[in-house]
Amino acid sequence: MTPLTAFDKIWNLHVVKELNDGSVLLHIDRHMMHELSSYQGFDGLRGAGRRVRNIELTVGVQEHILSTDPGRNEDSFAPGADFLYTLRQNTQEAGIELVDFRDSRQGIVHVMAPELGIALPGATLVCGDSHTCTVGGIGAVSFGIGSSQVEEVLATQVLPMRKPMRMRVVFDGILQPGVFAKDLILYLIGKIGAGAGTGYAVEYAGPVIQDLPIEGRFTLCNMAIEMGARVGFVAPDDKTIDYVRGRRYAPTGKSWTAAESHWRQLTTDEEAIFDREITVDTTLIGPQVTWGTSPQHVINVDGQVPDPQSISDPETRRNAEQALAYMGLTPGASLIDLPIQNVFIGSCTNSRLDDLRAAAAMIQKRRVAAGVRAMVVPGSTSVKRAAEGEGLDRIFIDAGFEWRESACSMCGAVNADKVGPGERCVSTSNRNFEGRQGPNSRTHLASPAMAAAAAIAGRIVDIRKLGV
Amino acid sequence: MQKFDRLTAVAAPILTDNIDTDQIIPIPRMLASMRPDYGAALFGNWRYVEGDQPNPSFILNKPPFTNAKIVLAGENFGCGSSREHAVWALMGFGVRCVIAMSFGDIFFNNCFKRGLLPVVLSPDLVRSLAAEIMSTSEAHPITVNLVDRKITTVEGTEINFSIDDGLREILLEGLDEIGKILKHELDINAFQMRDRQLRPWIYEATPAALRQQMAVATGSVITSEPIKR
């Protein structure tokens, strides 16, 4: 038999039909929807007089344009009210399960779907959201789609797709102190570029990934799209099986036994061929911080911001100059000791329990520096409860952090949680684009530990020098 | 879905690499209402100063580019968020074709759902097209011909481009993709029948399926919370 990659195996199992033009109809096992990108799909269905084909494979959740204020309601962030209401109306009319913002199951869609066992290994999962690749952390083939594709999945439960090429990134070496999954992925994007994964499904593998907890794998997969790859995933292993077992909607009994033995076959065969292979020596990686306006604009925290004059390609040079001007930085500058005004710990990248623990561990009974607004936004209501169960909320609140309700929040400034014009934010999210966290906001992406340490210091610091 | 066969129009070079969909349509302008004026929101961060005053130095505010129906772009155009709003914003402004060195994957796919033609050309060709356009202050249009897969530059040079046959056909015919997929409905039915045997857990334990089983078991009627404002 031809040796196959894990991705090939999962893909092949979902091919409903091969079409003449080389594309296939790919079965979609799970369709997650949120209030920002789904209503256009329902409008289209209505206009064409079509029905939702598989309501049982579809789940809606309110999480984007939603206030994170404690005690929030549908109107707390006024511009979101119509969007939230419309998702409620659309799902109810169709008979689709809605997880609304008051529900204990609520959370950022990419956090709650695996947490509840809605997302499963070896399944295909889509959502009208580019960070759907997050769920690849449990070995699902999951990817973001546009609103027209939301409509296609609602109506047909399949998508016409061309098979992506396959890339494997092997992480090998020692994970240095102060280095987390976030640093691995930022480093990788910095090395290969924000467009290097375009057209690929990326499998992360190697000793470092085998040792990486599932939560870290979510972080790694989450940012696959930041190098252009729609799909990032880690093939299922013991850690995956242990993570899924006992989740609310995970299979049970005989079904579980069958599922588990199926998932265990979804590994990459020894001799399988990838279209591109990259090996990363993690021993070289320190805590990462972005300096510019693309996730590829990243350096070790103790490194120097590049000098555009040293870049030969004129277009790349102009881009770097533009990014430095936007960020208010000078060529060759150090990021260490750069004063910051905001810290955001949250988003589908870094808002799970391990992330909050790593952030809390940096606080050491100290307080957020004067003039810094620091907020923690747990990735789901259940993460929030679990964190409160172990007293993390008290650590954050006592230190002067805001402890908020779960939603997308300051990652994309989709509610009132914004960074002010010209202000800097050390953020655990995934995009440092111009204006991403508010008009003229300046984002420095980093790990939760680096973000928490920056909040306490009021400036960017190297957590390896703190001795905590 | 609008058809696309050929277009002769002004092309605006915006050659910055990695122009993400947050730049093509910023979030605040997407949230202004559920169905905002997408065309007015295009490049909102760059096109306006002090709220809604046109930024005189941004290319789409400078004649003849105010009438641009083609955009020339650098590497990785449309990276970032999956928002199809980026396509609606470009088309709302009147843009029907983006010629770039490369595209973000989701954006590229979204283009074909509405009738926006994405053309990939080599960096050198994009730069020389842009240089020709910027060397004159007049509105010399270029022609993009999808039928013959050919671009005619300001100076009349012809450049061939390649595009996937299936995607080209979708644009040429303005096909309703769902209608096309539903021609294979029997295959989808058959797949799901087989798959239910092979992978029952995909269908059994979902939130809606569990709710339904519970309702049957207890003899209760399925009710959901009434819609309220």
Q: Does A117 touch chain B (CB under 8 A)?
A: yes
Q: Is pLDDT of B176 > 90?
A: no
Q: Does B133 touch chain A (CB under 8 A)?
A: no
Q: Are A437 and A411 in contact (CB under 8 A)?
A: yes
Which chain A positions have a beta carbon within 8 Å of B114's beta carbon? 148
Per CATH, A6-163+237-264 and A165-234+269-284 having the same topology is answered no
pLDDT tens digits for range B39-58? 999 999 999 998 789 999 99
C-alpha triplet B197, B203, B206: angle, nearest 5°: 155
C-alpha triplet B151, B152, B153: angle, nearest 5°: 110
**Nearest-by-Cβ selection for B82 from A50, A145, A152:** A145
Q: Is pLDDT of B208 > 90?
A: no
Task: Retrieve residue A97's tokens.
Answer: 């399960």
**Helix runs in A313-410, H state only:** 314-327, 353-360, 381-389, 392-399
| pLDDT class of B76 with cuts at 50, 70, 90 | very high
Instruction: Indicate the burial class of B118 (C-beta count within 10 angstroms; 0-12, 13-18, 19 or more).
Output: buried
| pLDDT class of B183 with cuts at 50, 70, 90 | very high
Kindly report the three-state secondary structure assignment for every residue of chain B: CCCCCEEEECEEEECCCCCEHHHHCCHHHHCCCCCCCHHHHCCHHHHEECCCEECCCCHHHCCCHHHCCEEEECCCECECCCCCHHHHHHHHHCCCEEEECCECHHHHHHHHHHCCEEEECCHHHHHHHHHHHHCCCCCCCEEEECCCCEEECCCCCEEECCCCHHHHHHHHHCCCHHHHHHCCHHHHHHHHHHHHHHCCHHHHCCHHHHHHHHHHHHCCCCCCCCCCC
Question: Would you state the CATH architecture of domain A165-234+269-284?
Answer: 3-Layer(aba) Sandwich (3.40)
DSSP A268: -
Residues 65-94 of B with CB under 8 A from A: 74-76, 79-85, 87
Count CB pairs under 8 A between chains A and B.
Answer: 218
Nearest to A297 by CA among A284, A311, A283, A312: A311
Task: Retrieve residue B191's tokens.
Answer: 């797949």
Q: Are A38 and A150 in contact (CB under 8 A)?
A: yes
Q: Are A162 and A254 in contact (CB under 8 A)?
A: no
Statement: the pTM of the whole predicted model exceeds 0.90: yes
Contact check, Cβ <8 Å, B181/A436: no
Say how far apart CA A441 and CA B26 lie, in whole Å.
13
Say how far apart CA B144 and CA B154 lie, in whole Å.
11
Q: Does B128 touch chain A (CB under 8 A)?
A: no
Q: Which residues of B69-97 are buried (b: 16+ CB within 10 A; e: fewer)?
A: bbbbbbbbbbbbbbbbbbbbbbbbbbbbb
What separation in angstroms does the CA of A380 have from each of A183, A289, A449, B7?
A: 23, 25, 19, 48
ipTM of this complex? 0.95
What are the DSSP calls for A445-468, one per residue? Answer: E--HHHHHHHHHHTB---GGGTT-
Say how far apart CA B130 and CA B138 lie, in whole Å.
14
Q: Which residues of A17-42 are buried (b: 16+ CB within 10 A; e: fewer)?
A: bebeeebbbbbbbbbbbbbbbbbbbb
Which chain A positions have a beta carbon within 8 Å of B15's beta carbon? 315
pLDDT of residue B212: 80
Strands annotated E in A296-371? 298-300, 342-345
A305 vs B137 pLDDT, higher one? A305
How many of the other CB atoms lie within 10 Å of CB of B209? 16
**Nearest-by-Cβ selection for A228 from B105, B181, B200:** B105
Q: Does A296 touch chain B (CB under 8 A)?
A: yes
Q: Are A56 and B206 in contact (CB under 8 A)?
A: yes
Nearest to A333 by CA among A322, A324, A323, A343: A324
Q: Does B193 touch chain A (CB under 8 A)?
A: no
- The answer to whether domain A288-465 has CATH 3.30.499.10 is yes
What separation in angstroms does the CA of B119 have from each of A92, A311, B103, B126?
A: 41, 28, 9, 10
- What Rg value do the Cα atoms of chain A yield, rounded? 21
Q: Is pLDDT of B219 > 80?
A: no
How many of the other CB atoms lie within 10 Å of CB of A415? 23
**Nearest-by-Cβ selection for A118 from B103, B113, B207:** B207
Superfamily of domain A6-163+237-264 in CATH is Aconitase, domain 3 (3.30.499.10)
Which chain A positions have a beta carbon within 8 Å of B74's beta carbon? 315
pLDDT tens digits for range B79-99? 999 999 999 999 999 999 999
| pLDDT class of B225 with cuts at 50, 70, 90 | low
How many of the other CB atoms lie within 10 Å of CB of A303? 15
In terms of CA atoms, which chain B residue is nearest residue A37?
B83
Phi and psi, residue A23, nearest 5°: -90, 170
Say how far apart CA A222 and CA A349 lie, in whole Å.
6
Q: Does B213 touch chain A (CB under 8 A)?
A: no
pLDDT of residue B228: 54
Number of H helices, E strands in chain A: 15, 19
Domains and CATH numbers, chain B: 6-174 (3.20.19.10), 184-218 (no CATH)
Residues 72-91 of A with CB under 8 A from B: 79-80, 82-83, 85-86, 88-89
Nearest to B5 by CA among B132, B153, B173: B173
Percent of chain B scored above 70 by pLDDT?
95
What residue has token string 């009710």? B223
Say how far apart CA A298 and CA A328 lie, in whole Å.
15
How many of the other CB atoms lie within 10 Å of CB of B203? 15
Say how far apart CA A243 and CA A238 lie, in whole Å.
8
Contact check, Cβ <8 Å, A251/B187: no
Contact check, Cβ <8 Å, A155/B227: no
Say how far apart CA A115 and CA A246 lie, in whole Å.
10
pLDDT tens by residue, chain A, 468 residues: 899 999 999 999 999 999 988 899 999 999 999 999 999 999 999 999 999 999 999 999 999 999 999 999 999 999 999 999 999 999 999 999 999 999 999 999 999 999 999 999 999 999 999 999 999 999 999 999 999 999 999 999 999 999 999 999 999 999 999 999 999 999 999 999 999 999 999 999 999 999 999 999 999 999 999 999 999 999 999 999 999 999 999 999 999 999 999 999 999 999 999 999 999 999 999 999 999 999 999 999 999 999 999 988 888 899 999 999 999 999 999 999 999 999 999 999 999 999 999 999 999 999 999 999 999 999 999 999 999 999 999 999 999 999 999 999 999 999 999 999 999 999 999 999 999 999 999 999 999 999 999 999 999 999 999 876
pLDDT of residue B154: 87
Contact check, Cβ <8 Å, A249/B185: no
Q: Which of B31, B72, B195, B224 has the highest number of chain A CBs within 10 A, making it the mutation to test binding with A?
A: B31
pLDDT of residue B229: 54
Contact check, Cβ <8 Å, B227/A89: yes
Q: Is pLDDT of B226 > 70?
A: no
Domain boundaries, chain A: 6-163+237-264, 165-234+269-284, 288-465
pLDDT of residue A313: 85
Encoded amino acid at A459, one letter: R
What separation in angstroms does the CA of B24 have from each of A73, A294, A389, B19, B85?
A: 31, 15, 42, 7, 9
| pLDDT class of B221 with cuts at 50, 70, 90 | low
